A and B are shown apart, each in its own frame.
Chain A
Amino acid sequence: MKPAPFDYVRPDSLGEACEILASDEDARIIAGGQTLIPMLAMRLARPAKLVDILRLQELHGIRADEGAIVIGAVTRQVEVERSEIVRRSLPLLAKALPWVGHPPTRNRGTVGGSIANADPSAEIPLVAVTLGAEIEIANPPDRTRMPADDFFIGPMLTSVMPGDCVCAVRFPVWTHPRVGTGFHEVSARQSDFAFVAAAAQVALDESGRCIAATLGLGGVGDRAIRIDVAPLIGDIPARKKIADVVRAATGNLEANSDLHASADYRRRVAATLGIRALEDAFTEAVSANGASP
């Protein structure tokens, strides 16, 4: 359980980090290291060089910008969990965070690390897909934004090219007066990998009609996906309709089968948790007092 030898560098700027990455195809980024170091310890990964970006201030922090909350890649998960601005403006992310790993790994693990790792059962990528977040990617001198849907392409696979660096995640903020969220997950033990996770966010108008709704599922297939819940928009939500819409949309989901859970089980749980997450979200939105987010 000892990693193979590697060189360690800690560049002073993002530009320098990308330069090193571009010049050495065996170089890899390390930030919190909560996934990479186990891979190194088991020698499933053997990079020649680790480029430590954890202390790059330009990649750190949580700020509001143009209707979104932008979370820097090296912002630790625990900082997001404790952030007042996240609780107010990104209630779904705040609700999902306690499900990410456990306290010691959240103390070191970063938001960008979880995004770049692209585990199909990970909660932060699920919230990014559910809310339609954008991933900011640096490849100096360019800095591009990519929708989460295009960024995640498979299990542990993203569209990031060699020499690129994920630098922030841009989560859109819903400004509707009455917003509710729901998050449910099934795993073998608390804080273990999710077999299935469901994240929902909805908004109601003054009369109680649904004006926006989104539902995402993680752990089911090769990556987190958004489910079509558009038929709920325009109606005053009823339990039966929620169940019908989710069941119709999840009936033919592509699901993975493994030792822990069969594809059928995953599809069944996906429908059940999707319904629960939406019901929670509507209940929360109904009791929201209309205060601005």
Chain B
Amino acid sequence: MKVRLTINGREREADVEPRKTLLDTLREDFLLVGSHAGCEHGVCGACTVLIDGEPSRSCLMFAVQADGYDITTIEGLAPAPGELSIVQDAFCETHGLQCGYCTSGMILAAHALLERNDAPTRADILEAISGNICRCTGYGQIVEAIEHAADRLRKTNVPRGGRP
């Protein structure tokens, strides 16, 4: 089946089998391999992407269901080639990652949270990343990274709210 998807602001087209998940389509047809295939049945959160700005599991959606939505992957967060978004940068600065497998999902979940609420409580942060499993960090530095990013977002003088 032919599908037309809007990914990181660009219209893309692919010919996929109905059983192909959005995750596999992103990785194989569009070479956007920042979305990671972990458990592939909706448990780990490594494949998280934003669908119309809301974190969703790309392994729990078929590509043929995904037309018409605004899909954002980790590749779509950086403001320009070679740069990092504020959330990405905060993860680097506070060592919010070790192996990096969960990182793209964590950052997208954090990004979506901070778009709605740039002064989250610790409980808000834990809730936002509750669907994302990390086996390295013990989550402490990830929470710290999101708090750090929130702080910097509150102080930034760059307009926000646009995509992504």
Query: Which residues in A have some Cβ–Cβ distance to B below 8 Å?
Result: 1-8, 30, 33-34, 37-38, 40-42, 50, 52, 54, 78, 98, 101-105, 107-108, 190-191
Contacts and interface: CB of A to CB of B under 8 A. Distances in A.
B59 A103 contact: no
Contacts of A52: 65
Given A41-B41, A103-B130, A54 B65 contact: yes
B61 A104 contact: no
| Interface SS of B by simple majority | mixed
A40 B65 CA distance: 15
B18 A1 contact: no
Interface of B: 1, 17-19, 21, 24, 39-43, 45, 48, 51, 54-57, 59-62, 64-65, 109, 126-128, 130-131
B61 A108 contact: yes
Contact of A108 (B40, B45, B60, B64): B60
Given A41-B40, A102-B131, A104-B55, A7 B60 contact: no
B59 A8 contact: no
Contacts of A102: 127, 130-131
A103 B55 contact: yes
A38 B55 contact: no
A104 B51 CA distance: 10
Contacts of B55: 103-104, 107
Residue in A5, A42, A52, A103 whose Cβ sees the most chain B Cβ within 10 Å: A103
A8 B62 CA distance: 10
Given A34-B42, A190-B130, A108 B56 contact: yes
A191 B62 CA distance: 24
Contacts of B131: 101-105, 191
21 contacts: A2-B24, A5-B17, A6-B18, A6-B19, A8-B62, A33-B60, A37-B21, A37-B59, A38-B60, A41-B41, A42-B41, A50-B62, A54-B65, A101-B131, A103-B109, A103-B131, A104-B45, A104-B57, A105-B57, A107-B51, A108-B56
Given A5-B19, A50-B18, A107 B54 contact: yes
A89 to B, nearest CB: 24
B127 A103 contact: yes
A102 B133 CA distance: 12
A2 B23 CA distance: 11
Nearest to A191: B130
Contact of A8 (B1, B40, B42, B51): B1
A40 B64 CA distance: 15
